[in-house]
């Protein structure tokens, strides 16, 4: 039985006072979770604040990016070891905004995930197709390529220590959510690909859905057999929404 997981992706939002109220509200709001886990991935400068506000609570924290390099002359980059020093547990890699706006390719995404695993952190490996790719009926081809690149680099043990996130690009920040059936179809496809590598690993890897998840649609998405929770952008910035989503994940 896979544990459900709800992860907030704050993207480049926040400031110290607003973060404090959001984090305090989330800590209080999810204190009663019985089964699900939850986390927030905050901008780098707020990791210390997240660590001090969340330590000892039910909310884990993490980052939205990492360098694939361990150290060196890489101005502006942040290493996995640095994230570990701030108590991070989860780190996003391959978010579509990184792929589209910052030119990250499958090989870079895989190298970042490897660097995280080597440091003992949990990569959340994001995959997903654009609207043109879905309309061109190549969703499985695109997602298959992205998953295969991660699987080739990480191997079954690495994948077993990772989380996958299916995030159709057309659903991110657009208010358009994949239907539960659309999400389930791609999640089952991903799990099938993983099963082709290692059946036991495939049965245990959490696959999150991301793309305009809200309090109002979380329960129906999370009810699908291969949807193990959500990666939440906009709604994670609103305490009541994020808490309700975490509670929707906290079902038997
Ligand atoms: C995301 O940024 O990963 C995301 C899913 O955003 P949103 O929930 O706002 O669509």
- Average pLDDT in the 86-108 region? 97
* Separation of CA 9 and ligand 1 centre (Å): 7
pLDDT at site 1: 81
- Average pLDDT in the 45-69 region? 98
User: What is the biggest distance separating any 2 CA atoms in the chain, rounded to whole angstroms?
Assistant: 48
Please confirm, yes or no, whether 181 is among the known catalytic residues.
no
Cβ-in-10-Å burial (0-12, 13-18, 19+) of 193 comes to middle
Q: Please give the angle made by the CA atoms of 167, 172 and 176, to the nearest 5 degrees.
A: 105
pLDDT digits over 137-192, tens only?
999 999 999 999 999 999 999 999 999 999 999 999 898 889 999 999 999 999 99
Contacts of 236 (CB under 8 A, 6+ apart): 7, 8, 9, 10, 40, 242, 245
Yes or no: say if 28 and 244 are a contact pair by the CB < 8 Å rule: no
Please confirm, yes or no, whether 95 is among the known catalytic residues.
yes
CA distances from 240 to 215, 229, 231 (A): 8, 17, 16
C-alpha to C-alpha distance for 154 and 161, rounded to whole angstroms: 9
* Separation of CA 168 and ligand 1 centre (Å): 10
Q: Which pTM does this prediction carry?
A: 0.97
* Separation of CA 213 and ligand 1 centre (Å): 7
Ligand 1 pocket, residue 211 CB under 6 Å: yes
* Separation of CA 167 and ligand 1 centre (Å): 8
What is the DSSP annotation of 182-233? Answer: HHHHHHHHHHHHHHHH-HHHHHH--EEEESS--TTTHHHHHTSTT--EEEES
pLDDT digits over 196-237, tens only?
999 999 999 999 999 999 999 999 999 999 999 999 999 999
Ligand 1 pocket, residue 233 CB under 6 Å: yes
- Average pLDDT in the 125-140 region? 96
Residue from 208, 234, 235, 238 to probe ligand 1 pocket by mutation (most atoms less than 8 Å from CB) = 234
Residue from 213, 241, 242 to probe ligand 1 pocket by mutation (most atoms less than 8 Å from CB) = 213
C-alpha to C-alpha distance for 160 and 158, rounded to whole angstroms: 5
């Amino acid at each position: 039985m896979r544990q459900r997981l709800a992860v907030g992706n704050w993207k480049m939002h926040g400031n110290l006072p607003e973060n404090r109220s959001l984090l305090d509200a989330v800590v209080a709001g999810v204190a009663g979770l019985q089964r699900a886990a939850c986390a927030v991935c905050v901008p780098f400068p707020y990791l210390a604040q997240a660590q001090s506000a969340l330590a000892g609570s039910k909310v884990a924290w993490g980052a939205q990016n990492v360098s694939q390099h361990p150290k060196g002359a890489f101005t502006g980059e942040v290493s996995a070891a640095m994230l570990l020093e701030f108590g991070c547990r989860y780190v996003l890699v391959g978010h579509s905004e990184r792929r589209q706006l910052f030119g990250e390719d499958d090989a870079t995404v895989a190298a970042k995930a490897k660097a995280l695993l080597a440091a003992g952190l949990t990569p959340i490996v994001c995959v997903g197709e654009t609207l043109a790719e879905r309309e061109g009926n190549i969703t499985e081809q695109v997602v298959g390529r992205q998953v295969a690149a991660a699987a080739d680099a990480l191997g079954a043990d690495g994948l077993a220590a990772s989380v996958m996130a299916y995030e159709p690009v057309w659903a991110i920040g657009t208010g358009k959510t994949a239907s539960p059936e659309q999400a389930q179809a791609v999640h089952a496809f991903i799990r099938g690909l993983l099963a082709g590598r290692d059946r036991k690993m495939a049965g245990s890897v959490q696959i999150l859905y991301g793309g305009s998840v809200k309090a109002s649609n979380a329960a129906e998405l999370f009810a699908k057999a291969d949807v193990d929770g959500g990666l939440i952008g906009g709604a994670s910035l609103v305490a009541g929404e994020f808490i309700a989503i975490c509670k929707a994940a906290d079902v038997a």
